[in-house]
Amino acid sequence: MLTSLHIKNLALVEQLEIDFTAGLNVVTGETGAGKSVILGAIKLLLGDRADKSLIRSDAAKAEISAIIELGEIPYLKQLSEKILQDAGIEADENGQIILRRVISPSSSKNFINSTPTSLATMKALGRCFIDIYAPGEQQGLADNRKQRFLLDKYGSLNKDVEKVQKAFQALKKLEEEKENFHNEIPDRGELEILRYQLKEIKDANLQENEDEAIHHEYNQSAGAKELMDTSMQVQNMVNSDEGSILNSIQFMIRHIQEMNSIDESGTSPFLARAENISEELFELSRDVDNYTNRLNLDPENLAFLEERMTTIQQIKRKFGPELSDVFAYEEKLSEKISKADQFEDLYEKLLADIESAQAAYLKAAKELSKKRQKVTGGLSKSISDQLRDLGFKSSEFSVELSEAKHTSHGIDHVEFCFAPNAGEGTKPIKDIASSGEISRVMLAVKSVLAKIDQVPVLIFDEIDANIGGIVATQVAKKLVELGSAHQIFCITHMPQVAAGGSTHYRVEKNIRNGRTYTEMVLLENEDRVEEVARMLGGSDISSVVRSHATELIAANAV
């Protein structure tokens, strides 16, 4: 739930920090007091666009933050953790999510749990926890896509919808392959060119990394004569008959042996090191000799290497630039030629796959449609019952299905229809002119879906607009009922709704030192009675009005 809200230098709010409770939180205040600023602050934390004009005069920046408690709903925990993980944000050990925005004249900075983040991430996370129903949002109920979503949610049809979506995507992928199929098949002239290119590559009989190996061997062969002369000189220096290094070492060893015969303990290390040097020189001489023997001075081989290097370079220039690119192009050529050679068989298979995918989609879509048809009656009756509780005693509500264009959501067009008065006949909700009527329809829908709705916080902005009397009392009762399963915030002008709140806040506008301030205060005891009395009787609050306010509050406290 939303446990606290902090606002600093936003519009007429200089500093506001307030804690909220579970159940129905009502917010009241005179028109123009600034209730919209409070709602606007929450919307900013949910990803609304920030404008520098929102910054309070003479302030450098505006700040808004809120703390949300995750609670014990597994679905919400998993979803929020995934969003945080994808955004690289660590989850709070105490099960809290802290949303914060800082708005300056040049930028807007967004934070989740003190980590900078994008507005898209804030919006995605906010949607998990908070739904806002303002006069503009209420019209969303007239959207047929929204109606279809609500019907599927009521019927717990999400798995069936996912099945249809997957089948539809598989079908569309195959249809796209069909559209591109002819473009991928070469004509006769192009096919001849492709065959010639493939033959040219295959005739070259290229091997992986062959260009590097040939280049290395060529460099060795081209320099073999110089290498051989030099290696012979090295061998002569190390191990010739006279004057070689190895002979000199042997002569030196004989001298050390003479020293060793006189002072064995003192000269033994010298003798061992000299013998090691002699052995190492002998190994060196042998290795150089083996290297010399491997050198290739064959002119025919050198000519072959030059020709091979030329062939490889030509192939790379045509189809490269690297050998790996040549091999990739060879594979692509083979695929194109194979497709052309098997055109009819492949095309017939593709058509068969499309037919099979169409059948699978229609089967899944028809199954979904049947399940939707089964739950329309239950949803219609449940909403109708709620509407009767909200003052529409002779109303009629129905959910109508008709066949529609095939989409990823199935083959149904969903229409919520409503007749507020007996004998009028139902009409689509989008044709209802009264905002008061559609507000109550929306509240009825929300009441029906409350038990399966995962969003824990619902905010209603003047849902009681254009209603009064006993209907307002019924709306208040319905909001209290919703408050048992959700945390509810209701901005209201109706005293009946205000009296039903478990917690009551008043937004007021004050002037101090020539400046205007919007403030939000928690009302308790007599202060709350005075506010409800003001809503009942305006500025002229009599003892009768005050007594009525006390009775309203007491009645809802029972």
- The per-residue pLDDT for 411 is 95
Categorise residue 490: left if φ over 0, alpha if ψ from -120 to 50, beta otherwise.
beta
Structure confidence by residue, pLDDT tens digits, 196-221: 888 888 888 988 888 888 888 888 77
Fold of domain 1-133+462-473+483-521: Rossmann fold (3.40.50)
Per-residue b or e along 419-443, where b marks 16 or more CB atoms closer than 10 Å to that residue's CB: bbeeeeebeebeebeebbbbbbbbb
Beta-strand pair 24-28/487-491: parallel
CB 104, CB 50: distance < 8 Å: no
Across the chain, what does the average pLDDT equal? 85
Structure confidence by residue, pLDDT tens digits, 243-295: 788 888 888 888 888 888 888 888 888 888 888 988 888 888 888 888 877 76
- The per-residue pLDDT for 450 is 74
- The per-residue pLDDT for 482 is 86
Helices (H), 295-322: 299-319
- The per-residue pLDDT for 454 is 72
Q: What distance, in Å, lies between the first and last C-alpha atoms of the chain?
A: 24
> Which long-range contacts (C-beta less than 8 Å, at least 24 apart) are formed by 412-419?
412/148, 412/368, 412/369, 412/372, 413/144, 414/144, 414/147, 414/148, 414/151, 414/372, 415/144, 415/147, 416/141, 416/142, 416/147, 416/441, 419/395
Residue 111: count of CB within 10 angstroms of its CB: 16
- The per-residue pLDDT for 184 is 63
Enumerate the CATH 3.40.50.300 domain ranges in the chain, comma separated: 1-133+462-473+483-521
Q: How far apart are CA 432 and CA 498, in angstroms?
A: 27
Structure confidence by residue, pLDDT tens digits, 392-406: 888 888 999 999 999
Greater confidence (49 vs 64) lies with 64
What mean pLDDT is predicted for residues 305-323? 89
Find the range with the poorest average confidence among 127-141, 336-350, 443-457: 127-141
- Provide the sign of the torsion angle of the four alpha carbons 215, 219, 222, 224, taken in this order: negative
Collapsing DSSP to helix, strand or coil, 264 comes out as helix
Is residue 557 pLDDT above 70, yes or no?
no
- The per-residue pLDDT for 129 is 84
- The per-residue pLDDT for 10 is 92
Locate tokens 């449609």: which residue? Answer: 369
The DSSP output letter for 55 is B
- Provide the sign of the torsion angle of the four alpha carbons 426, 148, 362, 354, taken in this order: positive
Where residue 135 falls among pLDDT bands split at 50, 70, 90?
low
Angle at 330 between CA 325 and CA 334, to 5 degrees: 150
Cα separation values, 466 from 127, 305, 439, 510, Å: 28, 94, 9, 28
Structure confidence by residue, pLDDT tens digits, 223-245: 776 777 788 888 888 877 677 88
Structure confidence by residue, pLDDT tens digits, 483-507: 888 889 988 888 988 998 999 999 9
Find the range with the poorest average confidence among 82-91, 169-178, 462-471: 462-471
Whole-number percent of the chain with pLDDT over 90: 25
Locate tokens 């060793």: which residue? Answer: 260
Is residue 138 pLDDT above 60, yes or no?
no
CA 319, 322, 324, 326: dihedral to nearest 10 degrees? Answer: 10
Where residue 164 falls among pLDDT bands split at 50, 70, 90?
very high
- The per-residue pLDDT for 163 is 96
Q: How far apart are CA 475 and CA 450, in angstroms?
A: 15
